[in-house]
Amino acid sequence: MLADRMKQMKPSGIRRIFELMASMDDPINLSIGQAHFDPPEALIEAACQAIRDGHNRYTVTQGLPELNARILDRVESRYSHRPEASLVTSGVSGGLVLGFLALLDPGDEILLPDPGFTMYAQLAELFGAVVKFYDLYPNWQMDPDEIASLMGPRCKVILLNSPSNPTGGVLGAESIAKVASIAAEHGAVIISDEIYDEFVYSDDYASAIGLHDRVLQLSGFSKTYGVPGWRLGYATGPTELLDAMKTIQQFSFVCAPAPFQVAVAEVAFDLDMSGYIEEYRGKRDRLVSDLHKAYRLLPPQGSFYAFPSLPGEVPEAEFMQAALDARLLVVPGSAFSRKDSHFRLSFAVSDEKLGEGIRGLNDLVGRLT
């Protein structure tokens, strides 16, 4: 019954954890990929008001003009470069689907980070592209020489994700600039997934925006404002590419959810989220200082994930089972990587749960090593 393309699709390793969690009594869940806070009250109010005011019909495919204007203003004020065009998408996930479809023919190559967000390789392969991985181990940085060596005549896209899911790494400005010039030399597009761009704990966060005329920036509202269920993101970049993505959106998603576009355009850009980000910096600091040193952990510079090594020489399956027995939910590194030497935990949880999680993980060290 099913198309051949379904043969290579595996259910997400993270979804399996969700299913396990549903069967557990009060788990210590450090597997979640979303902020733990509720959206600011003003944003909730604006969304309710937008529904009452009748913003329940389709919007134009590219998204409300006032929202696009605010997106471009924000990008320009942050990076001193105004992209040619923007498009409101159904989450960054929607932006990835549209971007990949607009850029990749079957057989074209895309370079992806290893470890990296699970959706990239699955979508690229679904669309018939050939995936090549560049390595982020051991310091969560890319090596521009490796990227140059992977570039072939069919390489159309280099995907960057900073801050990173799952590593918490932030890519260095110098390596981004080098990779931008490699992409320019080969006529390749950089897709820069910047969904965690507000969750940055280091001073040297950099974006590829403005470094190359073929940069597709994807970002959104899910993580920053605690609204992943609103399915709202955006893409910025060259007009030719954004027009192609808009055409595909016309025949697929149609538009991003209308009332939430209105609410975000009216309220979100004026909200000060710095208190929330500082809270996460504190959770990051606590994790880094209190997690047992048998877990080798590079302090996350951004996002709300940490990607420690497994303790000692413990095989991944044994570690995961021991964690589950202790009601601890984390995500095995092999869900994100060709390697199975690390695991992802999210510190986007209450202080109480984070404390329980750290104690649980530290207890495992004694039992497993």
Out of 108, 193, 198, 266, point to the residue binding ligand PMP (CB under 6 A): 193
What mask, x for binding ligand PMP by CB under 6 A, covers residues 255 to 284? Answer: ------------------------------
Out of 17, 28, 33, 311, point to the residue binding ligand PMP (CB under 6 A): 33
By beta-carbon proximity to ligand PMP, the closer residue of 193 and 266 is 193
| CA pair distance 336, 137, nearest whole angstrom | 12
| CA pair distance 286, 325, nearest whole angstrom | 24
| CA pair distance 265, 43, nearest whole angstrom | 10
Residue 33 CB, nearest approach to ligand PMP (Å): 4
Question: What does the block give as tokens for 359?
Answer: 């104690």
Q: Which of residues 222-251 bind ligand PMP (CB under 6 A)?
A: 222, 228, 233
By beta-carbon proximity to ligand PMP, the closer residue of 215 and 364 is 215
By beta-carbon proximity to ligand PMP, the closer residue of 29 and 93 is 93
By beta-carbon proximity to ligand PMP, the closer residue of 228 and 360 is 228
Residue 195 CB, nearest approach to ligand PMP (Å): 4
The phi and psi torsions of 87 (rounded to 5 degrees) equal -150, 135
Question: What does the block give as tokens for 8?
Answer: 């290579």
By beta-carbon proximity to ligand PMP, the closer residue of 119 and 151 is 119
Residue 343 CB, nearest approach to ligand PMP (Å): 16
Residue 267 CB, nearest approach to ligand PMP (Å): 18
By beta-carbon proximity to ligand PMP, the closer residue of 68 and 222 is 222
Binding-residue total with ligand PMP (CB under 6 A): 13
For residue 195, state whether it binds ligand PMP (rule: CB under 6 A): yes
By beta-carbon proximity to ligand PMP, the closer residue of 234 and 319 is 234
Residue 160 CB, nearest approach to ligand PMP (Å): 11
How would DSSP label each residue in 252-313? TT-SS-HHHHHHHHHHGGG---HHHHHHHHHHHHHHHHHS-TTS--PPP-BTTEE-PBPSTT
3-state secondary structure of 55: coil
Residue 303 CB, nearest approach to ligand PMP (Å): 8
Q: Omega of the bond prior to 138 within 30 degrees of 0, cis? A: yes
Closest among 44, 10, 15 to 32, alpha carbons compared: 15
By beta-carbon proximity to ligand PMP, the closer residue of 117 and 319 is 117
Helix axes 258-267, 65-79, angle to 10 degrees: 40
- Cβ neighbours of residue 203 closer than 8 Å, sequence gap 6 or more: none
Residue 314 CB, nearest approach to ligand PMP (Å): 26
For residue 220, state whether it binds ligand PMP (rule: CB under 6 A): yes
- CB-closest chain residue to ligand PMP: 91
For residue 302, state whether it binds ligand PMP (rule: CB under 6 A): no
| Sign of the torsion angle spanned by Cα atoms 160, 175, 133, 162 | negative
Residue 293 CB, nearest approach to ligand PMP (Å): 28
The DSSP element (H or E) to which 248 belongs, if any, is helix 239-250
Question: What does the block give as tokens for 84?
Answer: 């040619």
How would DSSP label each residue in 206-223? ---TTSSS-EEEEEESTT
| CA pair distance 272, 351, nearest whole angstrom | 22
Q: Which of residues 74-93 bind ligand PMP (CB under 6 A)?
A: 91-93
Q: Which of residues 140-159 bind ligand PMP (CB under 6 A)?
A: none
For residue 163, state whether it binds ligand PMP (rule: CB under 6 A): no
Closest among 160, 169, 172, 176 to 139, alpha carbons compared: 169
- Cβ neighbours of residue 327 closer than 8 Å, sequence gap 6 or more: 24, 25, 26, 27, 28, 360
Out of 59, 61, 161, 162, point to the residue binding ligand PMP (CB under 6 A): 161
Residue 222 CB, nearest approach to ligand PMP (Å): 3
Residue 294 CB, nearest approach to ligand PMP (Å): 27
Binding footprint of ligand PMP on the chain (CB under 6 A)? 33, 91-93, 117, 161, 165, 193, 195, 220, 222, 228, 233
